[in-house]
């Protein structure tokens, strides 16, 4: 099968579209034929090998035939003998490693039926960003109906899901984004939108019960100024970086406000929860651009610029030539 393979750190231009063995499955796994995958900020960090911690998980001093990707949507090709909830031909989606390939083996507890009202390309945009937004707001942030929430970085992958999920949970939502994305963020449900080039939300009079920070460009002390006395900051480690997360965690015991760092977990129950939100019309993925698998290096270069509106999706065609 074809897959996007990384054998060094640095520019996305070093990535290769290579022929690699099709993965085998054990008795508790499902083999999925990938129709589409999507990119996350973490994919770009992995390619660059920055921060250095990445290198100890992907490969040190360099990766060897590492297949990139964390999200997929496709059809079940085969199932292990212990699998009863999925059958060949089922349309599914998942957050799983090594998804930038024609086939991926997936543990059944990290897989769910694809939302029926989405294409494969749309469904591939959901898992990692959707789970991060859902778990950040609902679990780490303990968001309650009627609360005021600010989404810093509201136009990116996690941010666009967070705006919609917060609204679905009954919150009053303020999104922070650039000038070009103001209308889009408002169109997906934000009650108020702040253009960061014109207004500093940490200096305004409004106070929030919860801030989900997908950017990490402000200190915890800055964010505290925009919180209610018992407010909560939820730093998204995938965007802010682990240093920022640790600093917020260390400082929070000394303040009335709280920082609740978290790392999103993949499990089928929350993929089902996202599926229900999507099928009810409360959440819709925002897709910036699509690329074929052979142009993943271009897609990652674009992602690395940091101005993606929603998600970048990779379309995987079986037998794609390099």
Report the CATH number at residue 64.
Answer: 3.90.180.10
Residue with tokens 């035939």: 65
Strands 258-259 and 192-195: unpaired
pLDDT-based confidence at residue 321 (cuts at 50, 70, 90): very low
How far CA 34 is from CA of 3, 70, 293, 318, in Å, comes to 11, 12, 11, 8
Over range 202-224, report the average pLDDT: 91
Is 293 domain-assigned? yes
Residues 157 and 255 in one domain: yes
Over range 143-162, report the average pLDDT: 97
Q: Which residues form the domain of 214?
A: 129-259
H helix or E strand, kind and range, residue 133: helix 127-134
Residues 119 and 187 in one domain: no
Residue with tokens 């694809």: 114
Q: Is 170 left (phi over 0), alpha (psi -120 to 50) or beta?
A: left
Over range 99-107, report the average pLDDT: 98
Lowest mean pLDDT across 2-11, 69-78, 114-123, 231-240: 231-240
How far is it, in rounded angstroms, from Cα 182 to Cα 204?
18
pLDDT at 62: 83
Residue 68 makes CB contacts below 8 A (sequence gap 6+) with: 4, 5, 6, 15, 43, 46, 47, 98, 99, 100, 296
Domain end, chosen from 243, 259, 275, is at: 259
pLDDT at 60: 82
Task: Kindly report, residue by residue over 232-273, the tens digit of the pLDDT.
Answer: 999 886 544 445 555 555 555 545 556 676 778 888 999 999
Number of structural domains in the chain? 2
Is 80 domain-assigned? yes
Residues 107 and 77 in one domain: yes
Residues 118 and 177 in one domain: no
Strands 311-315 and 287-292: parallel
Over range 282-307, report the average pLDDT: 96
Residues 16 and 121 in one domain: yes
How far is it, in rounded angstroms, from Cα 33 to Cα 102?
6
How far is it, in rounded angstroms, from Cα 262 to Cα 229?
21
pLDDT at position 117 over 60? yes
pLDDT at position 160 over 80? yes
Report the CATH number at residue 225.
Answer: 3.40.50.720
How far CA 268 is from CA of 108, 274, 313, in Å, comes to 8, 10, 21
Task: Kindly report, residue by residue over 64-94, the tens digit of the pLDDT.
Answer: 889 999 999 999 999 999 999 999 999 999 9
Q: Which tokens in the block code for residue 3?
A: 């897959």
Q: What is the mean pLDDT of the chain?
A: 91
Over range 169-180, report the average pLDDT: 98
Residues 145 and 119 in one domain: no
Residue with tokens 């682990």: 242
How far CA 278 is from CA of 59, 81, 137, 172, in Å, comes to 37, 31, 17, 20
How far is it, in rounded angstroms, from Cα 203 to Cα 218?
12
């Amino acid at each position: 099968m074809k897959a996007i393979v990384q054998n060094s750190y640095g520019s996305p231009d070093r990535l290769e579209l290579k022929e690699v063995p099709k993965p085998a499955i054990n008795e508790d796994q499902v083999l999925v034929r990938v129709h589409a995958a999507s990119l996350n900020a973490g994919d770009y960090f992995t390619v660059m090998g920055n921060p250095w911690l990445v290198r100890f998980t992907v490969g040190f001093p360099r990766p060897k035939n590492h297949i990139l990707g964390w999200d997929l949507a496709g059809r079940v090709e085969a199932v292990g003998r212990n699998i009863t909830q999925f059958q060949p031909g089922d349309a599914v989606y998942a957050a799983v490693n090594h998804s930038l390939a024609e086939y991926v083996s997936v543990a059944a507890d990290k897989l769910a039926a694809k939302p029926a009202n989405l294409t494969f390309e749309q469904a591939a945009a959901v898992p990692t960003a959707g789970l991060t937004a859902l778990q950040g707001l609902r679990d780490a942030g303990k968001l309650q109906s009627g609360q005021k929430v600010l989404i810093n970085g509201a136009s990116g992958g996690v941010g666009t899901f967070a705006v919609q999920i917060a609204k679905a949970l009954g919150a009053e939502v303020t999104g922070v984004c650039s000038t070009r994305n103001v209308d889009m963020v408002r169109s997906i449900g934000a009650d108020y939108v702040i253009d960061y080039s014109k207004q500093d939300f940490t200096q305004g009079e409004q106070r929030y019960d919860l801030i989900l920070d997908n950017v990490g460009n402000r200190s915890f002390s800055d964010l505290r100024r925009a919180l209610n006395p018992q407010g909560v900051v939820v730093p998204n480690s995938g965007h802010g970086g682990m240093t920022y997360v640790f600093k917020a965690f260390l400082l929070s015991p000394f303040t009335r406000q709280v920082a609740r760092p978290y790392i999103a977990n993949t499990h089928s129950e929350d993929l089902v929860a996202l599926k229900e939100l999507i099928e009810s019309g409360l959440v819709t993925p925002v897709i910036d651009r699509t690329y074929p698998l052979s142009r993943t290096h271009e897609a990652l270069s674009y992602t690395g610029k940091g101005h993606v509106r929603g998600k970048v999706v990779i379309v995987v065609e079986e037998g794609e030539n390099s």
